[in-house]
Amino acid sequence: MGQTGAAQSHLAHQGVGVGDVFLFFGWFRRAESVAGCWRYAPDAPDLHVLFGWLEVDEVLPVVTQRDGVVRRHPWIVHHPRVAPPD
């Protein structure tokens, strides 16, 4: 599931499309339980870890509007990212 609205427009303006790869990374440190509470281990090194990736296979307009009528793909109509708030 990707982006809609302004975020989707931003990606399109940057030329993101089929074959592009998104890398997901984060900052991690070893944690330990001390007296029932969690804390970062004092001498644990900071780690920047690549934990996932996603390759764009296809770009679909999730929501389209034609003749004043908003249409959503049937398989996505109830997904929280695009479903109407009501």
- 24-57 residue pLDDT tens: 999 999 999 999 999 999 999 999 999 999 999 9
Burial of 82 (0-12, 13-18, 19+ CB in 10 A): middle
Residue 3 has pLDDT above 70, yes or no: no
C-alpha span between 80 and 1 (Å, rounded):
11
Tell me the per-residue pLDDT of 8-29, one tens digit each, with 9 for 90 and over: 778 888 888 899 999 999 999 9
2 pLDDT higher than 70: no
User: Residues 23, 37: contact at Cβ < 8 Å?
Assistant: no
- What pLDDT was estimated at residue 66? 74
